[in-house]
Amino acid sequence: MADMRAGGDHRGLGADPIVKGVIIVIEYAIVASLLLVAGIVLVRTVIDFLSHWGAFPLTVVAAIDGILVVIILLDIAHTVFGHLRTAAFPVRPFLVIGILAGVRDILSSSAHLTLSSPLSQRDFTDTLISLGVGVGVVVFLLLGLLILRFSGHSDEDDVA
């Protein structure tokens, strides 16, 4: 009976490093993919901004939107890479990423209200709802960040 348990443990130990290695390779591929996409979005944003001077207010909003997408992608890549180095999964960076995404949605809704041609009543209502949801998400995530801060939990302790 002891021999069977030892044999079972031996087989599990052989597969475990292989599975962990595959997971690590996939996680590094995810980080590399996020960095590649962030680089492409940044280059495309700069090219679009510089090539469309005629519609300046719209290009500024689009450029800010593109830059916020790049920041979000870099934050996700940084968080995943930190997880790879420490095997800890910090909460704080994802709250910050959510806040950035909410701010991006607020910016997009505000630009839609301000810069588009006259909106129908339905489009106006939908845009206001989107704006309200974005503000609600940002406030909710900020409260989560405050709760995390005052709870005494520190992501830096997990990552260090």
- For 76-114, the pLDDT digits (tens) are 888 888 877 776 777 888 899 999 989 988 888 888 777
Give me the half-sphere count of Cα atoms (radius 13 Å) on the Cβ side of residue 3: 0
pTM of the model: 0.71
Q: How far apart are CA 17 and CA 21, in angstroms?
A: 6
Q: How far apart are CA 128 and CA 126, in angstroms?
A: 5
Kindly give the residue spans of alpha helices, DSSP state H, lying in the chain: 2-51, 56-86, 92-115, 121-150, 155-159
Instruction: Give domain limits for the chain.
Output: 2-159
Give me the half-sphere count of Cα atoms (radius 13 Å) on the Cβ side of residue 149: 9
- For 9-45, the pLDDT digits (tens) are 444 456 788 888 898 898 889 999 999 999 999 999 9
